[in-house]
Structure 1
Amino acid sequence: MTSSPARQRARVDDATLRAATGADWDGWLTRLDEWGARDRGHREIAAKLVEWGVEGWWAQTITVGFEQERRGRQPGQRADGTFNASASKTINAPNERVFDLVIDEAQRATWLPDVELTARTMTRPGTARFELPDGSRLSAWLTPKGTEKTLVAISHEKLPDAETMGLRKEFWKTRLTDLKAAAEAQRSL
């Protein structure tokens, strides 16, 4: 008997999966095995599921579950084998102020000292992407929440392993707290 993917099962139980897609975990794993999914890439598996009538988010969920169960893909691991760490925080400051704290090197040093970032792309006032010396990448998304609040979401991509992912996740939680303090300190000036 096939066991269900532990991580995906924690997110989506058999009854929910069956109601949304017409089959439970064992059903999808068996069908994908019969189709030959073990020898196919992530995109090809997801595309096949869509071809079979599974909607996009569900196709991704089933694909990741299959990869976790059959290929040993770890929670947080991307299809290319790397890991992503993410963190977010709502900051009591206007979007433009927070964006400047993220993109301006001198301002960034107040909340993110000793981290060398090379800018890749910037789209005011919402996205900033950077390269780090180790080859990993950092993406920041800033979403206004009214005129005086900003949601900042960080994704640190292309990390080598789950341990590094965990360490980076904690690091970014702390750094976003520091960003919040820096943005709110400017408010009082």
Structure 2
Amino acid sequence: MAEPAPSGNLTRGERIPAIERATGRSWADWLHIFEAADASRIGHSEIARVARAAVPDDLQSPDWWAQGIAIAYEQHVGLRVPGQSTSGTFRVSASRTLPMDRDEAIDAWVAAHGSVVEHLGHAASAPRPSRTDKRSFWRFNLEGAGKVEVSATPKGEDRVILGVSQDGLADGDRIEEWRAHWKALLAAL
């Protein structure tokens, strides 16, 4: 696990009410559950297991909620800050829903931005397009700024969520600058 972040409650405030509504537990109750498990001394996977054991089984996507609750707890106790992964690096993402299929969305990205050789001063590597049964991808590395994945995920028959995620930033200082950059590129489609 990464070195603890500066102390203090750095949990994104908007997560707590959603967690409370979805699970029927107050944030104070969640903190008690984690304290009883000595969660500040265990890794992310174990914290997520503690959360999963306390998430109601009838909740839609209980594993997803357990991950989010674990991350909120880690932020709350200063084990990580918003945007930080369990490895200690930072990530940022942005997305947009478009009225097209997944392959058209990737084609639109490539037509608009596929020839861009640098992003915010970081050289882009050769892209690596790929496709699975569920998603289409356009991936590339950024010299000194991690890896970027553009993914197109169908949302119904005639819409797609086109997402850009960037993993491997050394610190969180430029997260909002990167988010604005990716949002601007998505908005241009």
Using the size of structure 1 for normalisation, the TM-score is 0.71
- How far the C-alpha of 1:166 sits from its partner, in A, is 0.9
Alignment of 1:24-103 (within 5 A): 24-54=26-56, 55-91=62-98, 95-102=102-109
Aligned to 2:173, the other structure's residue is in SS state: helix
Give 1:185's aligned residue: none
- How far the C-alpha of 1:122 sits from its partner, in A, is 1.3
Amino acid in structure 1 at the alignment position of 2:45 = R
Give 1:122's aligned residue: 130
Aligned to 2:82, the other structure's residue is in SS state: coil
Give CA-to-partner distance per residue, 1:9-28, whole Å, 9 cap, x none: 422328x62x6445321222
Q: Structure 1 residues 102, 28: CA separation in 2 closer, same or farther (over 3 Å shift)?
A: same
Give 2:175's aligned residue: 165
Where structure 1 has 5 or more consecutive residues not aligned to the other structure, the ranges are 181-189
Q: Select between 78-87 and 48-57 the one with higher mean Cα deviation.
A: 48-57
CA–CA distance in 2 between the matches of 1:177 and 1:20?
31
Aligned to 1:118, the other structure's residue is in SS state: coil
- How far the C-alpha of 1:69 sits from its partner, in A, is 1.4
Give 2:164's aligned residue: 154
CA–CA distance in 1 between the matches of 2:158 and 2:65?
36
CA–CA distance in 2 between the matches of 1:159 and 1:107?
21
CA contact (8 A) 1:117 1:130 kept: yes
Give CA-to-partner distance per residue, 1:66-114, whole Å, 9 cap, x none: 111112522222222222221223456664344235458x9711xx343
Amino acid in structure 1 at the alignment position of 2:178 = R
Where structure 2 has 5 or more consecutive residues not aligned to the other structure, the ranges are 1-7, 57-61
Using the size of structure 2 for normalisation, the TM-score is 0.71
Q: Structure 1 residues 6, 92: CA separation in 2 closer, same or farther (over 3 Å shift)?
A: same
Q: Is 1:177 aligned with 2:175?
A: no
Give 1:108's aligned residue: 114
Q: Structure 1 residues 60, 143: CA separation in 2 closer, same or farther (over 3 Å shift)?
A: closer
Give 1:7's aligned residue: 11
Amino acid in structure 2 at the alignment position of 1:127 = F
- C-alpha RMSD over aligned residues: 3.3
Paired residues in the alignment total 171
CA–CA distance in 1 between the matches of 2:145 and 2:33?
38
CA–CA distance in 2 between the matches of 1:148 and 1:13?
32
Larger radius of gyration: 1
CA contact (8 A) 1:84 1:155 kept: yes
Give CA-to-partner distance per residue, 1:135-179, whole Å, 9 cap, x none: 51111111356887654211111112222111110111122234x
Aligned to 2:107, the other structure's residue is in SS state: helix
